[in-house]
Amino acid sequence: MTMTAIAVDRYYAVRKPMVFKMKFSVKRTKILIISLWGLALIAAVPTAFMFKSVYVSQDDKSNYKGKTPFACKLSLPFGAWFKDFKAIYLNVVLFLLPVTITSILFVRIVLYVRQSNLAINKRFANAAGAIRNSHWTTAKSLLAVFVVFVFCYMPFSMYNIMQRYAPAVLSANFKNVALLLPYANSCLNPVVYSFTSERFRRYCVRLLCPCNRKTIATRHPSHSGDSAGTDQQSHSLQRFASILAIKDYKV
């Protein structure tokens, strides 16, 4: 859900910047974040009824040192149909549907950037390149994070389906990979951002290596020291971006 919400945010920021500026205020963004967390909490409610804590039998092979192991096992509080509900709910509602929506949004962002670049007059070639890079930088990091997310959670989704409808074909190795990869997703996100965002890398270095802060600040001075030519180019880019934004808003 969070990934889908971010994709919607980036879609409006890239394709409808004027609408984004008017509708996505700080106040509304805070309300949307709170609403998103509330929706996620509601979506997690059925999961609370899917498992129960039980003591494993003494005859179980996992018994150790004469103690009765304590485990979390699948529960069927509402009958056998709950297994089908679990498989459909976890895979369709919480995975396939958000992934489909997010994929469509990212595809539309990429197609829009390509089409807008082809329609730009050659007179604005330099500005067009800057605008294109700005658009792509906006979505590139999030797209990479989304691809990693799908890579990490797709085996888990397949595991849930196979466990319900084809348990005989499940191997122990695939089960372990499917259950562990979702945890790896959170660990991989900072790595992905480091490879796709120069600014993220710079601030990571500043955070992890305080001794290098002065050196990094020297390499990346503030805009106050830029030349007049750079300021003029920046003004031209902003003006050109405004023209594109107004055109998009009218459409």
Distance CA 62, CA 57 (A): 9
CA distance 164 to 219: 56
Q: What are the tens digits of pLDDT across the range 118-150? A: 655 555 555 545 555 565 676 777 888 889 999
Question: What pLDDT, on a 0 to 100 scale, did the predictor assign at position 203?
Answer: 82
Tell me if residue 89 falls in helix, strand or coil.
helix
- pLDDT of res. 223: 45
pLDDT at 150: 92
Sign of the four-CA dihedral 231, 237, 242, 245: negative
The Cα–Cα gap between 142 and 151 comes to 14
Q: What is the pLDDT of residues 144-165, one digit of tens each?
A: 888 999 999 999 989 888 888 8
CB of 41 closer than 8 Å to CB of 21: no
Beta partners for 51? Answer: 74
Alpha helices in 119-171 (DSSP H): 125-165
Distance from the Cα of residue 89 to its chain's centroid: 20
Question: What DSSP designation does 86 have?
Answer: H
Counts of helices then strands in the chain (DSSP H, E): 10, 2
User: Would the pLDDT of 29 be above 70?
Assistant: yes
pLDDT recorded at residue 154: 92
- One-letter amino acid at 178 equals A
User: Which range has highest mean pLDDT (37-41, 133-137, 209-213)?
Assistant: 37-41
Strand, helix or coil for residue 172: helix
Domains, the chain, in order of start with CATH, read 2-49+79-221+231-250 (1.20.1070.10)
Dump pLDDT digits (tens) for 40-97.
888 888 777 777 777 766 555 554 455 566 677 777 777 778 778 878 887 888 889 9
C-alpha triplet 113, 119, 124: angle, nearest 5°: 95
Token pair for 55: 């003591």
Instruction: State how far the Cα of 168 lies from the Cα of 153, in Å rounded to an integer.
Output: 21
Q: Which H helix or E strand runs over 221?
A: none
